[in-house]
Amino acid sequence: MALLPILRYPNPRLNRVASPVSIVDEAVRKLAANMLETMYAAPGVGLAATQVDVHRRLIVMDISEDHSCPMIFINPDILNREGECEDEEGCLSVPGIREKVRRSATIKVAALNLSGKRMELEAEGLLAVCIQHEIDHLDGHLFVEYLSPLKQTRIKNKFLKQSREK
């Protein structure tokens, strides 16, 4: 397995919409394994293929504290949303920034697993937030887009300044 480089905001490649995975093969399974390793090393609880500059609809996550519950969603699609919650979110592509974001409180998601079989899952709490956050990446959106224009500008300027200083 290998660690993959994570794109950092405001890299325009983070805004590309990911294409569906047409076949779940060994290359997809290897990508998922590398993404999990990268996410754990970062450290984080979720990672979308878009964040590692692979524009395919694949997300990985593990919200357990001991990394004992990895989850992989291929071509995820939210079937149902209910309620509303607001919680602080962060992102491996926007390191060091945590802001409150409003999302659906519970969701039902359908996806393929690593065997290529369809699965459905109802999620709430951190898992629901994480799934929504990662699917946003596949759709070319980052959590900072939910913030006020002023906050978005401040965050973007901070990261542009950091990239100029490197």
What CATH number should be reported for the domain whose range is 12-165? Answer: 3.90.45.10
- Assess whether pLDDT exceeds 80 at residue 28: yes
Domain residue spans of the chain: 12-165
Q: Which residue has the higher pLDDT, 160 or 130?
A: 130
Instruction: Tell me what pLDDT residue 165 has.
Output: 82
* Distances in whole angstroms, Cα of residue 137 to Cα of each of 21, 55, 82, 109, 144: 15, 10, 21, 16, 11
pLDDT attached to residue 125: 96
pLDDT band at 96 (very low <50, low <70, confident <90, very high): very high
Residue from 122, 124, 134, 145 carrying the catalytic annotation: 134
CA distance 72 to 35: 10
134 is annotated as an active-site residue: yes
pLDDT bracket for residue 83 (50, 70, 90): very high
Q: How confident is the model at residue 118 (pLDDT cuts 50, 70, 90)?
A: very high
pTM for this entry: 0.95
Q: Do the Cβ atoms of 25 and 55 come closer than 8 Å?
A: no
